[in-house]
Amino acid sequence: MAAVNLDISTPALLFPAVSLLFLAYTNRFLHLAALVRNLHTDWLKHDEAALLAQIENIRWRLKLIRWMQLLGAVSLLLCVVSMVAITGGSLTLAVFSFLSALVLMALSLAALVVEIYVSGGALAILLAQIEGREPS
């Protein structure tokens, strides 16, 4: 196995990215919270089937956002563990923690991609409703 050179600044590189991701994730969550409130009001007034499809879509998106946030937070925590391990001289733990942080960040981003795809489904539901047909 080749020698690994892991400097303390390497895991620290993820800190700005994680901050920006959490800002984006939080904005998506707040937007969905406002949508849920509007849908609740619409459901009480109209009781339409299309609203149920939208609610199911939002429920799925909220789960994805929770996973995005959880995976990102654990990724950040593992970066901290990696930096502490580097400082303490435990290169094996540092490398394992940093690689795990990278994998979790990749999974968080993959969940973001899925959530973006699912959010397009919400628009399809609205367009189907406008066109006067059932959402597929």
pLDDT digit string, tens, across residues 43-67: 777 767 667 777 888 889 889 999 9
Phi and psi at 8, nearest 5°, equal -65, -25
Average pLDDT over residues 9-34: 81
- Total domains in the chain come to 1
Distance of CA 86 to the CA centre of its chain: 28
Q: At residue 1, does pLDDT exceed 50?
A: no
Whole-number pLDDT of residue 106: 94
Count of CB atoms situated within 10 Å of the CB of 57: 22
Residue 65 maps to a domain: yes
Domain of residue 62 covers 23-130
The pTM assigned to this predicted structure is: 0.77
Residue 111 maps to a domain: yes
The residues near 75 (Cβ < 8 Å, ≥ 6 apart) are 14, 18, 101, 102, 104, 105, 108
Residue 108 maps to a domain: yes
Residue 16 maps to a domain: no
What is the tens place of the pLDDT at every residue in 81-136? Answer: 999 999 999 999 999 999 999 999 999 999 999 998 888 877 777 777 777 765 55
Whole-number pLDDT of residue 78: 94
Residue 1 maps to a domain: no
Residue 2 maps to a domain: no
Whole-number pLDDT of residue 136: 54
